[in-house]
Amino acid sequence: MLAVAVSWDLYLATRSALVLGNVGLVQVAPFIMFALVAGHFADRYNRRHIILITQALALLTAVALVFSGLSVPVIYTCLFFNASARAFQGPARLSMLTQVVPVEHVGNAIAWNSSAQELASVGGPALAGILLSVSGSRVVYGVQVLCALVVFVCYAAMRFRPLPVLARTTMTEGVKFLFRDKLILSASSLDMVAVLFGGATALLPIFSVEILKGGVHTLGWLRAAPSVGAVLMALVLAHSPKIERAGMALLGAVIGYGVCTIVFGLSRSFWLSFAMLLLTGVFDNVSVVLRQSLLQTHTPDWVRGRVMAVNNIFISSSNQLGAVESGLTAAWLGAVGSVVAGGIATLVVAGGFASFAKRLRNWRQ
């Protein structure tokens, strides 16, 4: 809901693709600045306490948005602090999984967790579109405050299995581990580069209004479409045997993502555009589940927080810098040219990894 409201407010205020793209820059900066420190905290200190403190900060930024006055600098500032809270929370939250779920059920738990997260993402953009048209963005920001508060209560109610006290190690141990494990490195790099070029989300307000001739309702449904696809695929994966030829499945998912991005960019039909975005969610969820299962099962707990922090850099760089890339190329090539070129670049990247990353290509679960 927050993503839809912020993008809509900024679009109405500026009508600028560059301003929309810079939302990604504002949010990726904290992940790059704080990632290694956040991972070190997750491995050295109580993960539950970290999660509660950062969620309290997220709650405060949600309150600040209600009183932002819809100012571009204020919105950017709130997004920066919200992203800072998530940057510190991410490694602790992702690392806690093995403290609440037996290791043999981690893969299935990731699929179910993805389903729950995507279900929220399905309803959020659609509901935001309704509230924006009826009551305006301030109501959306108020609902965001309630959501942040509920999340804080849920985290406070959780109980983790305690971990043994670990020997003190360096802050960069996660980086060293990741670069030693060529399989994890190649899987994370493939996803980062593909999504960096293949994302169209930042430009959806332009597609909704100028290309598909719709409005805020169109934007809400287009934002929801990838999550609809992701939750459907997550439910399928949760009830299916694990994918044996994981490497080929990951490469196939990235190729499918690129093809659907190109078709979306060329589409002038709402339903075709919706279907293509839905399929990008399907393919992206396959990638998410495979990569998270790899990280959770191949990473020892003593370094898991720092590895998750480095992985957060990959994820945030791909999503948020992808928004910056989309804004810059849209200012140069137009929105359609930006999305189509990004989809083609995704296919080129996937072909390169399929040709040269032998360990990834042969990866079996």
The tally of domains found in the chain comes to: 1
Q: Say what the pLDDT of residue 80 is.
A: 92
Binning pLDDT at 50, 70 and 90, where does residue 276 land? very high
Which H or E run includes 83? helix 72-95
Kindly state whether residue 318 falls inside one of the protein's structural domains: yes
Kindly state whether residue 86 falls inside one of the protein's structural domains: yes
Kindly state whether residue 122 falls inside one of the protein's structural domains: yes
- What mean pLDDT comes out for the span 238-245? 79
pLDDT exceeds 70 at position 299 = yes
The highest-confidence range among 60-74, 166-180, 187-201, 253-267, by mean pLDDT, is 253-267
Query: Which has more pLDDT, 277 or 299?
Result: 277
Taking CA atoms, 290 is separated from 57, 138, 183, 319, in Å, by 31, 38, 12, 18
- What mean pLDDT comes out for the span 260-267? 92
DSSP for residue 299: S
Binning pLDDT at 50, 70 and 90, where does residue 198 land? low
213 phi and psi angles, rounded to 5 deg: 60, 40
- What mean pLDDT comes out for the span 275-288? 89
Please tell me whether residue 201 adopts helix, strand or coil conformation.
helix
Query: Which has more pLDDT, 330 or 346?
Result: 346
Kindly state whether residue 166 falls inside one of the protein's structural domains: no
Backbone angle region of 58, left / alpha / beta, with phi > 0 → left and psi within -120 to 50 → alpha: alpha
- Per the CB < 8 A criterion, the answer to whether 129 and 216 are in contact is yes
Q: Say what the pLDDT of residue 145 is.
A: 93
DSSP for residue 67: T
Q: Say what the pLDDT of residue 316 is.
A: 62
- What mean pLDDT comes out for the span 301-319? 71
C-alpha span between 325 and 336 (Å, rounded): 13
Residue 40 CB partners (closer than 8 Å, separation 6+)? 171, 305, 306, 309
- What mean pLDDT comes out for the span 290-315? 75
Q: Say what the pLDDT of residue 163 is.
A: 65
Mean pLDDT of the chain: 82
pLDDT exceeds 70 at position 170 = no
- What mean pLDDT comes out for the span 297-323? 71
- What mean pLDDT comes out for the span 95-111? 76
pLDDT exceeds 90 at position 236 = no
pLDDT digits 0-9 by tens, 15-58 = 877 787 777 778 778 877 887 788 878 878 888 899 999 999 99
Q: Say what the pLDDT of residue 158 is.
A: 85
pLDDT over 90 percentage in the chain:
17
Kindly state whether residue 124 falls inside one of the protein's structural domains: yes
pLDDT digits 0-9 by tens, 134-162 = 888 889 999 999 999 999 999 999 887 76
C-alpha span between 196 and 226 (Å, rounded): 16
Binning pLDDT at 50, 70 and 90, where does residue 194 land? confident
Kindly state whether residue 297 falls inside one of the protein's structural domains: yes
- What mean pLDDT comes out for the span 181-188? 81
Kindly state whether residue 80 falls inside one of the protein's structural domains: yes
- Per the CB < 8 A criterion, the answer to whether 89 and 45 are in contact is no
Range of the domain at 113: 2-158+171-361
Q: Say what the pLDDT of residue 164 is.
A: 59
Query: Which has more pLDDT, 77 or 114?
Result: 77
Binning pLDDT at 50, 70 and 90, where does residue 205 land? confident
Binning pLDDT at 50, 70 and 90, where does residue 81 land? very high
For residue 202, give the nearest of 360, 13, 62, 17 by alpha carbon.
17
Tokens of 84: 């800072």
DSSP for residue 104: G
CATH code of 203's domain: 1.20.1250.20
pLDDT over 70 percentage in the chain:
91
Query: Which has more pLDDT, 177 or 85?
Result: 85
- Provide the whole-model pTM: 0.67
Kindly state whether residue 163 falls inside one of the protein's structural domains: no
C-alpha span between 354 and 298 (Å, rounded): 22
